[in-house]
Amino acid sequence: MSVLPPFDLVRPANLAEALSAVADGATPYAGGTELLLAMRAGLLRPAALVDLKTLPELSGVSLVDDHVRIGATVTHRQARTAPEGAHIPQLSNVLGRVGNPRVRAVGTLVGNLCFAEPKSDVATLLAALDARVELASTSGGRTLRLREFLLGPYTTARSDDELVRAILIPVRSGRLAAYGKFQTMERPTVSVAAVKEADGTTRIAVGAVGPVPQVFEFPPGERPDCDGIACEVEVTPDFTGGDAFKRHITRHIASSTLSDLGTRS
């Protein structure tokens, strides 16, 4: 067995202690499903982890001001079964297919976003739903739209002295959503989340194909242009396919996901 590199484990009594540990250089830690793998592979070597799991301020799913608020330590499994999650179309479907039951039992949604894996289904869906992330540090807090937070593969706007407190997903009545993907390996080649708001605005997030989920927004009355999306989307050629292939699949999956919008919610 390969061992993890040594580190200190900080167990804060409250959020203020956690924030000052992060300000002192400790890495926020909850599920560890990505962090511990990166440490074992030698990609990260934090001197200390600050365990967020015992802090009530960071736990739980709640309804706050027309948003579903998902705390930093909420696992995929917890979010999937929380009654508040039923307000968000497609959330349960996408969360139920993350990794495997063991990953879902310990891995958190906030950790999923902070890792910024380009092929994350959760990030793609949340981008289409116009989710935001709440960041906190000893000097205050800020809220970013997910598409401002995700900067590139494994790169976010979170600075070293910040932690992500929660995800905010707007709850809107009359909204339709659909999710589709093309996947032959562990992670998708292309994933598409389509959301149509009651006023007719349509947002299409294309994930997995490029460095971050890319959001295309169409005003009420404008028919979403899948050829245009396939042409404009930024593509990272990799072992799942080259540029032309991925654009072809993007056009196909975007089109089929859009046609699912009317039939499923």
State the residues that interact with other proteins by CB under 8 A: 1-9, 11, 32-33, 36-37, 40, 49, 51, 53, 77, 99-103, 105-106, 186
Q: Closest distance between other proteins and the C-beta of residue 90, in Å?
A: 18
- State the nearest-atom distance from the C-beta of 180 to other proteins, in Å: 18
Q: Which is nearer to other proteins, 40 or 172 (CB)?
A: 40
Nearer to other proteins, 104 or 158 (CB): 104
Report the residue number, 26 or 88, with the smaller CB distance to other proteins.
Answer: 26
Q: Closest approach of Cβ 47 to other proteins, in Å?
A: 9
Nearer to other proteins, 6 or 174 (CB): 6
Give the nearer residue to other proteins in terms of CB position, either 50 or 133: 50
Cβ within 8 Å of residue 90, ≥6 positions away: 125, 177, 178, 179, 193
* CA-based torsion, 12, 61, 77, 196: positive or negative: negative
The answer to whether the CB of 134 falls within 8 A of the CB of 146 is no
Min CB(199)–other proteins separation in Å: 37
138 three-state secondary structure: coil
Of 121 and 130, nearer to other proteins (C-beta) is 121
- Distance between CA 194 and CA 217 in Å, rounded? 10
Helices (H), the chain: 15-23, 35-40, 76-81, 91-95, 101-106, 109-115, 121-128, 146-149, 226-232, 243-260
Tokens of 56: 């009530």
Q: Which is nearer to other proteins, 98 or 192 (CB)?
A: 98
Nearer to other proteins, 65 or 186 (CB): 186
Q: Tell me how far, at minimum, the Cβ of 18 lies from other proteins, in Å.
A: 16
Phi-psi region of 115 (alpha: psi -120 to 50; beta: other; left: phi over 0): alpha
| Residue 5 Cβ vs other proteins, minimum distance, rounded to whole Å | 7
What lies within 8 Å, CB to CB, of 108 at 6+ separation is 30, 31, 72, 73, 74, 75, 76
Rounded to a whole number of angstroms, the minimum distance from the CB of residue 75 to other proteins is 9
- In the complex, minimum distance from the CB of residue 36 to other proteins, in angstroms, rounded to a whole number: 5
| Amino acid identity, position 81 | T
Q: Is the dihedral of CA 214, 207, 226, 247 positive or negative?
A: positive
The DSSP output letter for 3 is P
